[in-house]
Every structure is written in structure tokens, then in C-alpha cells.
Amino acid sequence: MGHSPVEELAATLREGLGEGFVASQADGFVFVGHPDFGMAAVVPSDDEEEAKRAAASLAVVAAAAGVSTPVLHFAVSKNGVRPPWVIRAGASMSVDIVAAMARASAGKTPPGNTVEQVSAALAKALASRPAPVEFPPLSPNLLRLAEACVSKVLGDRSVWVASVEIDAKDVVSPGFMLPAILVHAAQDWTLPVVAKKGGGFTVRLTPDPKSILGYKVSGIVLSSPVLLFLPIVNLVRRSFSNGECVLDDSVRRFADFLVLNGLDSGIMGDVDVRVASVT
């Protein structure tokens, strides 16, 4: 079984950074720390914004461990470089990171043994991550049943999105309205489902430039079909206005969801949205 890019990067840095450095795998990045030179988050990517997000995550974990310290960020690129934060992968990578950390730490209070505290906190967080959800292929029968449920609740009502009329099939289409419908439903139904301690569903969204909203639904794991259909039907019913169904609010909710989570359909990978963990 192959190693992930983060695992490979951590192994390379452990070997190349030298004595006194810690290089440990975290969730999506490598934590690099030194008692004199400080701490940094390193991502196996040429995207500096991703590195900044990793550094922000590292700062949160450090703060939770009682450590307040600046966190540097590095993106390791196989293509272009933008020193000092986007560095080239290869033989000089470790040297570049050490040099940048040494420059940035000049005249500042060294973190000392707090590096070990943060490393332990990251290891604990990584170990406590929930196991990844295995998504079976999206079931055509499930989509047909969802369409039938939506058609029944709509009756003779028209469905509109941004002043464009659509039909029940579009509402539950994985590449059309379904991502927005399920994100909206997840936001509204997570608390009641958790409160009742029963079931739920998890949705996987995958970037797709051909989809209307930039993402498509590529998988659904659910404890019961009813716990999927009820939130959808409830949402459609609550979208009735003047004898029609208007789903513009679901699109706005989906757009807000992308912004709040720092998601960009052009660069991000799969996203899992949970209504509630199955209990």
C-alpha cells in the first residue's frame, strides 16, 4: 500500500532537517518544529494559501495545548518557486526550510520544549480522527425514490431556481441541485437528528466543472433511506411560496457553505458533509 504525499514529505523532512528538528505527520500537513527556530506547517503542494490554512490549523492546535507562538508556512512545489514560502521539492528543500526558519526566528524568544507539547497534541488529534467513510457507488434506485418523493410533495407546483423553471428530476440530480439541497438539509437537520440519537447520513461532494454548482454528489452513506428522504421533502415543502417551489435559498446556503469552509471547486478535493454520525 502506497504512502500519502504527507507521509512521504514527513519522512523526507525527518531525514533531511537534521538534529533538533521534529517533523511529524498531521492532518493534511507536516508539523516542523525546533526549540530554537520555531514551528511551521509544510504542505506537499504549490499552493501557498493551502499552506497558510495549514499554519492556521496548527496555531489552533498549539493554542489548545497552551502554546501561543507564530507559525510559519511552507508549500513544497514540484514546479515554480516563490521564496521563501513556496520552495522547490528535492535535495535543497530541507536547507531552504531551515534557512527560512532561522531568519524568521532571529531576535525572537525560542519556543523551547513547547515544540514537544504541540507535537504530542497533533499526534493525539491525528489518532482520534474518525475512520474515513467508505462510499459505495451512488445508487440509481435511491435517486429514483428521491425523485418520486419530491414529485409527490410538489403535486402540480412548479419549481424555480434563479427564475429558471426546473423539474423534480433536476432537484435530485447529483450534478444539478442535489448538492445544495443536501447541504441545506444537513444544516437544518443535524441538531434534531443528534438530539434524538438516531441515524443520519453522510454525503460526499466532488469538484466537477460540468456541474451547475461546481460540485456533484458522488456518494451517500445513510442509516436509512427515510432519514434522507424526510429532510429533502421537508426542505422542498418549506420552499413553497405563492403556489410554487422556489429553491434560491438553498443555492445561497450552498454558496455560503463553500465560502465559510474555504472551498474552491477549482482546487479543492472531495468534501464530506454529515447530517449526523450513525449511532
Residues 191 and 113 in one domain: no
Does 212 map to a domain? Answer: yes
Instruction: Report the distance separating Cα 212 and Cα 128, nearest Å.
Output: 36
Task: Identify whether residues 214 and 265 lie together within a single domain.
Answer: yes
pLDDT in tens, 226-242: 878 988 999 999 999 99
Same domain, 216 and 243: yes
Does residue 232 lie within any of the structural domains? Answer: yes
In this prediction, residues 109-119 reach a mean pLDDT of 87
Q: Are residues 171 and 200 in the same domain?
A: yes
Residue 98 lies in a domain: yes
- Among 93, 127, 161, residue at a domain's last position: 127
d(CA 146, CA 33): 51
Q: Are residues 176 and 76 in the same domain?
A: no
Tell which of 127, 150, 169 closes a domain.
127
Same domain, 193 and 256: yes
Q: Is residue 117 part of a domain?
A: yes
- Could you tell me if 72 and 170 lie in one domain? no
45 and 112 part of one domain: yes
Residues 74 and 188 occupy one common structural domain: no
Q: Residue 41: beta bridge partners?
A: 31, 73
Q: Do residues 188 and 231 touch, judged by C-beta distance below 8 A?
A: yes
**Mean pLDDT of all residues in 211-220:** 91
Sorting pLDDT into bands at 50, 70 and 90, what band is 191? very low
Kindly give, in sequence order, each residue whose CB lies less than 8 Å from that of residue 18, ignoring residues fewer than 6 positions away. Answer: 94, 98
pLDDT of residue 279: 29
* pTM value > 0.95: no
Range of the domain at 112: 5-127
Q: What is the mean pLDDT of residues 119-142?
A: 80
Give the whole-angstrom CA distance, residue 271 versus residue 258: 10
* 100 plus 35 within the same structural domain: yes
- With residues binned 3-state (H G I as helix, E B as strand, rest as coil), the percentages for the chain, rounded to 5, are 45, 20, 35
Q: Given this model, what pLDDT does residue 188 score?
A: 76
> How far, in Å, are 53, 108, 257 from residue 272 at the CA level?
18, 40, 12
Q: Does 263 lie in the same domain as 146? A: yes
Q: What is the mean pLDDT of the chain?
A: 85
Provide φ and ψ at 129, rounded to 5°: -60, 140
Contact 250, 111 (CB under 8 A): no
Beta-sheet pairing, 22-25 with 30-34: antiparallel
Is 132 part of any domain? no
Residue 133 within a domain: no
pLDDT of 196 > 50? The answer is no
Q: Are 38 and 109 in contact (CB under 8 A)?
A: no
Res 260: pLDDT: 73
Q: Is residue 134 part of a domain?
A: no
Instruction: Give the residue among 164, 166, 200 at the shortest CA–CA distance from 182.
Output: 200
Residues 158 and 243 in one domain: yes
Instruction: Please count the structural domains in the chain.
Output: 2
pLDDT of residue 61: 86
